[in-house]
Copies of this chain bind each other. A is one copy, B any other.
Amino acid sequence: MGSVQRIASVINLDPEGIEEYEQLHAAVWPAVLAKISECNIQNYSIYRYGVLLFSYFEYVGEDMDGDMELMGQDPNTQDWWAVCKPLQRPVSEILEDEWWHTLPEVFHHD
């Protein structure tokens, strides 16, 4: 096993889209899940606090930028994002290349 990179990030939902978003995520398309695994992402969870979504995953590969690019080129993932993104509202703090906004880690204990 190489190193694990923990990535946490936030995005808002359209308040009108909460129900649809949760229904979609209760049954994510298998091809999308397969691509997530293929791109070295593990232990991926999303939680909701009001309209705020919090995402946590572990990247276990050697080239996260490269893997993220591969994921973005996958037609199934693109179709999935086309369904999900209209329900999302990026937070005002996003950087130029962000959709979800990455958070700083304050504490970790294995």
List residues of chain A with CB under 8 Å of any chain B CB.
Answer: 6, 8, 10, 21-22, 25-26, 28, 33, 36-37, 41-50, 52-54, 56, 91, 93, 101, 103-110
Contacts and interface: CB of A to CB of B under 8 A. Distances in A.
Nearest to A54: B54
A109 B28 contact: yes
Identical copies in the complex: 2
A contact patch SS:
strand
Contact of A47 (B36, B46, B48, B104): B104
A103 B100 CA distance: 19
Contacts of A22: 106
B28 A103 contact: no
A39 to B, nearest CB: 12
